[in-house]
């Protein structure tokens, strides 16, 4: 198990890998300050073709759907040590 710090000061613990695709991996994570709060962490390595554009578009779309009960909530998004991450 790995621990990572993610803005805004959210401490997450990776529990397990739950999937992967053409652009990266998805992990189940738990908020270490509130162990009841689970989330998914989507990761994509920096340096992939158009990686910043793909991630920005996904975050943009999910933010537009923020009020929808049918879309994922974004807790955080950014880059940590050459890995683009979205916490959903």
Q: What is the CATH number of the domain that holds 39?
A: 3.30.200.20
Three-class SS state of 79:
strand
Number of domains in the chain: 1
Three-class SS state of 58:
helix
Nearest-angstrom CA–CA distance, 64 and 45: 24
Q: Residue 16: what pLDDT?
A: 97
Q: Residue 30: what pLDDT?
A: 93
Q: Residue 80: what pLDDT?
A: 80
- Residue 42 is assigned to a ligand binding site: yes
Asked if residue 13 has a cis previous peptide bond (ω within 30° of 0), the answer is: no
Cβ neighbours of 47 (radius 10 Å): 9
Q: Residue 21: what pLDDT?
A: 82
Q: Rounded to two decimals, what is the model's pTM?
A: 0.77
The whole domain housing 17 covers 3-87
Q: Residue 45: what pLDDT?
A: 79
Q: Residue 1: what pLDDT?
A: 42
Per-10-residue mean pLDDT for the chain, 88 residues long? 56 93 88 88 76 73 85 82 84
């Amino acid at each position: 198990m790995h621990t990572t710090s993610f803005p805004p000061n959210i401490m997450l613990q990776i529990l397990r890998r739950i999937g992967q695709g053409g652009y990266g991996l998805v992990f189940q994570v738990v908020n270490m300050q509130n162990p009841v709060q689970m989330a998914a962490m989507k990761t994509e390595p920096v340096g992939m073709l158009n990686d910043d554009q793909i991630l920005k578009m996904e975050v943009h779309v999910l933010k537009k759907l923020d009020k929808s009960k049918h879309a994922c909530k974004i807790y955080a998004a950014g880059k940590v040590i050459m890995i683009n991450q979205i916490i959903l």
